[in-house]
C-alpha cells in the first residue's frame, strides 16, 4: 500500500449520534454558538443611548433568530422591519377619519410600540431619506410624528441587521454611524465540535425542524450531520445556516408526506435538490462523454496532466477535471502562462504561476540561470479561471515536459504551492474528487485511477458513499501529500532525488534528469564533433 494513501476511515466524518428522543429544545436553542451576539445584546440592554448592529449571513432564518434573541429578555416587545419601509412605519401617522382628535391620538409607529426595533440595514440604506431620518432621531434622541406635535422622547433600542460588509460600508461612509451603533454582534455560520457536542447540535437541528413544523426520526441524524458538515466544509464543524437547513427539512417533510422526517425522506430530498440544480453539470458531463472535450483518464503522456477545477453557479457547485499541458524549449528562463497572456486567468492564478517559477528556480537555478522557456495552458478552456489550486499540477506537467517522463493520466492532481515546494490546502476538495471520480466511473474504473490532494485537506473530506466503497474495493485511490516531490514520484514512478553538497542530484533520479536537460539546453555538455571538425583535427601539424 502506498504510504501517501489516505485511510478509508478519514474519507468521511465520524460522529457519536445522540438519542433524538432524549433531547429537548427551548426558545434560546437557536442561539447555539452565537455567544458574541448574545453578549452584545445583553450589553445593549444595559447601556443608554447606544444601539447595535447585528451582522448575519445569507442562509440564516433571520426572523426565528431575532425571536430567540429577544427571548432572553422576558416580556419585551419587538418588531422587525424590512422591504419597502415607510416613514409612517417608524414614526406613526394620524388617523385621518378622526380629524378633531388626530393631534391627541396619532397612530403610533414602531419606535413607540417596541422596546427593540430590528431593521434590515440593506432596506434602510436603499432609502437615503429614511436612513438620514433614523440617524437624526438617534442623534437627537427624540422624534416628531408631525411638525405640529411636540417631540416624543426615544424610548427604543434600534438594531440594524445586515451583512458584515454592509457594516464596514456604513462605518466608513457615514460619520455618525460609529457613534450611534458602537455595539456589534457578529454571528458565526458554523459550530466547532471542539467547543460544542453532537448532542447540542442535534438539539439545535430539532429546533430548526420545529420552525418548519417537522420532527426528526433517529435515522435522520446521520445523513443530516453529514449534510451539515458538508455545508461547513469540515469534518469537525457543522453549519448554522438555519434557513437553508430548514428549507431542506421542509422539502423532506413534503416528499415523505409526514411531519416525521426519516433518513430516506431526507436523502431523497437531497437527491431531488441535486437534480433540480445540476443542469450545467450534466451538460458538462455530456461534453466529456461525447469526446468534445479531450481528457484521457488512462495511459501515460509526457507534459500532460489532469488538474481539477470547481464551477460555482451561486446556489450549486460541482467539480470537473481540466487537461493541463506544458511544453519547453531553449530560452531565457520564462515560464509563460498562456491563460494570463490571453486574458483568461485572474490575478490569483497569475500569482500561483509566479510562485511555481520561483520554486523551480530555487531547486534548479541557484547557481546559474535556466536556459529554457516553458508554456503552460489549460486546454479547451474558454472562460476565465482563477485561483492557485492548479499550481501543483502545472509544476508536475512542467517537470514531465523537461525530463520527457510520462505522467499517469489516471491520477488527477490539485494543490497550491509555496516557494519552498510545500503543498498547501485548496477549496472545493470534495467536489473536485467527485467530479473526477464520476468521469472515471462512467468510462469504467481501471483500479489505477485516483486523486492527489494536499494532506491538510484531509480534515475536509466528506465524500459520497459510492466513492468510499470504490476506494475500499481498491478501484479508486486517494493520496495526501505535503511536498511536491511526493507528487512527482507518484505520477512518474521515479524517485525525485536528494541533492549533494553541490546541489547536484543523482543521475538516475527525476531531478537528475531535469538537471541533465537544463545542462544540455545551456550547452554545458560537450557536443559530439561533426565530420569536418574531425577531418580538420586529423590534418593538424604539430609545430
Please identify every residue annotated as catalytic: 389, 432
Q: What angle do CA 45, 51, 52 make, to 5 degrees?
A: 90
What's 369-397 look like in SS3?
CCCEEEEEEECCCCCCECCCCCHHHHHHH
- How far is 11 from 470, CA to CA, in rounded Å? 12
Query: Which one, of 414, 409, 418, 405, lies nearest residue 494 by Cα?
Result: 405
CA–CA dist 92, 354 (Å, integer): 61
335-337 and 107-108 beta bridge pairing: unpaired
Beta bridge mates, 93: 107
Nearest in space to 163 (alpha carbons), one of 63, 56, 67, 83 = 56
Task: Give the integer Cα–Cα distance in Å for 328 and 97.
Answer: 86
Q: Closest Cα partner for 313 from 347, 283, 290, 343?
A: 283
Q: Which three cell numbers stand for residue 488?
A: 512527482
Give me the residue label for grid cell 440544480. Answer: 277
**With contact defined as beta carbons under 8 Å apart, do 473 and 358 qualify?**
no
Task: Compute the distance between CA of residue 528 and CA of residue 538 in angstroms, rounded to an integer.
Answer: 16
DSSP H or E segment with residue 17: none
Task: From residue 396, give the alpha-carbon distance in Å to each of 129, 172, 239, 391.
Answer: 59, 46, 36, 9
Beta strands in 218-297 (DSSP E): 237-239, 260-261
Return the C-alpha torsion angle 478, 484, 485, 491, nearest 10.
50
Backbone angles phi, psi at 238, to 5 degrees: -120, 145
Helix (H) or strand (E) holding 451: strand 450-454
Closest CA to 124 of 86, 91, 167: 86
Contact by Cβ (8 Å): 32, 240: yes
CA atoms within 13 A on the CB side of 363: 25
Distance CA 383, CA 426 (A): 20
CA distances from 212 to 209, 231, 253 (A): 5, 20, 9
Neighbours of 434 (CB within 10 A): 20
- φ/ψ of residue 308, rounded to 5: -130, 135
The CA-based diameter of the chain, rounded to the nearest angstrom, is 133
Amino acid at each position: 500500500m502506498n504510504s501517501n494513501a489516505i485511510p478509508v476511515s478519514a474519507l468521511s466524518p465520524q460522529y457519536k449520534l445522540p438519542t433524538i428522543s432524549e433531547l429537548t429544545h427551548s426558545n434560546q436553542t437557536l442561539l447555539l454558538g452565537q455567544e458574541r451576539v448574545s453578549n452584545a445584546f445583553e450589553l445593549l440592554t444595559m447601556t443608554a443611548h447606544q444601539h447595535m448592529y447585528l451582522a448575519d449571513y445569507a442562509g440564516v432564518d433571520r426572523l426565528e433568530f431575532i425571536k430567540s434573541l429577544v427571548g432572553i429578555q422576558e416580556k419585551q416587545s419587538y418588531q422587525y422591519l424590512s422591504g419597502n419601509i415607510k416613514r409612517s412605519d417608524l414614526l406613526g401617522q394620524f388617523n385621518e377619519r378622526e380629524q378633531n382628535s388626530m393631534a391627541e391620538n396619532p397612530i403610533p409607529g414602531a419606535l413607540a410600540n417596541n422596546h427593540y426595533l430590528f431593521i434590515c440595514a440593506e432596506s434602510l440604506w436603499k432609502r437615503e431619506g429614511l436612513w438620514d431620518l433614523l440617524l437624526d432621531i438617534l442623534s437627537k434622541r427624540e422624534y416628531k410624528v408631525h411638525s405640529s406635535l411636540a417631540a416624543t422622547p426615544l424610548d427604543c433600542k434600534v438594531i440594524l441587521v445586515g451583512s458584515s460588509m454592509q457594516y464596514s460600508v456604513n462605518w466608513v461612509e457615514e460619520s455618525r454611524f460609529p457613534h450611534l451603533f458602537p455595539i456589534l454582534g457578529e454571528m458565526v455560520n458554523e459550530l466547532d465540535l471542539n467547543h460544542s457536542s453532537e448532542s447540542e447540535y442535534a438539539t439545535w437541528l430539532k429546533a430548526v425542524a420545529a420552525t418548519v413544523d417537522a420532527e426528526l426520526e433517529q435515522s435522520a441524524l446521520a445523513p443530516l450531520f453529514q449534510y451539515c458538515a458538508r455545508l461547513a466544509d469540515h469534518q469537525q464543524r457543522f453549519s448554522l445556516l438555519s434557513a437553508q437547513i430548514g428549507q431542506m427539512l421542509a422539502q423532506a417533510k413534503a416528499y415523505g408526506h409526514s411531519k416525521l422526517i426519516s433518513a430516506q425522506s431526507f436523502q431523497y430530498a437531497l437527491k431531488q435538490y441535486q437534480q433540480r440544480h445540476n443542469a450545467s453539470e450534466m451538460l458538462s458531463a455530456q461534453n466529456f462523454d461525447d469526446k468534445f472535450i479531450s481528457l484521457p483518464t488512462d495511459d501515460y503522456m509526457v507534459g500532460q496532466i489532469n488538474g481539477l477545477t470547481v464551477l460555482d453557479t451561486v446556489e450549486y457547485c460541482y467539480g470537473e477535471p481540466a487537461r493541463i499541458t506544458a511544453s519547453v524549449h531553449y530560452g531565457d528562463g520564462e515560464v509563460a502562462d498562456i491563460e494570463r497572456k490571453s486574458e483568461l486567468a485572474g490575478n490569483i492564478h497569475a500569482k500561483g504561476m509566479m510562485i511555481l517559477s520561483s520554486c523551480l528556480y530555487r531547486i534548479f537555478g541557484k547557481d546559474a540561470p535556466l536556459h529554457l522557456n516553458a508554456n503552460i495552458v489549460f486546454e479547451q478552456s474558454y472562460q476565465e479561471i482563477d485561483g492557485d489550486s492548479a499550481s501543483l499540477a502545472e509544476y508536475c506537467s512542467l517537470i514531465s515536459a523537461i525530463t520527457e517522463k510520462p505522467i499517469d493520466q489516471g491520477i488527477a492532481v490539485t494543490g497550491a504551492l509555496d516557494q519552498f515546494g510545500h503543498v498547501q490546502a485548496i477549496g472545493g476538495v470534495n467536489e473536485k474528487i467527485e467530479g473526477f471520480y464520476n468521469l472515471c466511473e462512467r468510462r469504467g474504473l481501471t483500479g489505477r485511477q485516483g486523486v492527489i490532494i494536499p494532506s491538510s485537506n484531509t480534515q475536509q473530506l466528506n465524500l459520497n458513499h459510492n466513492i468510499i466503497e470504490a476506494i475500499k474495493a481498491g478501484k479508486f485511490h486517494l493520496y495526501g501529500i505535503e511536498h511536491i516531490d511526493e507528487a512527482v514520484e507518484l505520477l512518474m514512478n521515479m524517485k525525485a532525488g536528494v541533492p549533494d553538497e553541490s546541489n547536484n542530484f543523482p543521475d538516475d533520479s527525476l531531478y537528475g534528469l531535469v538537471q541533465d536537460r537544463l545542462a544540455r539546453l545551456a550547452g554545458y555538455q560537450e557536443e559530439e564533433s561533426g565530420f569536418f571538425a574531425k577531418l580538420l583535427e586529423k590534418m593538424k601539424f604539430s609545430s
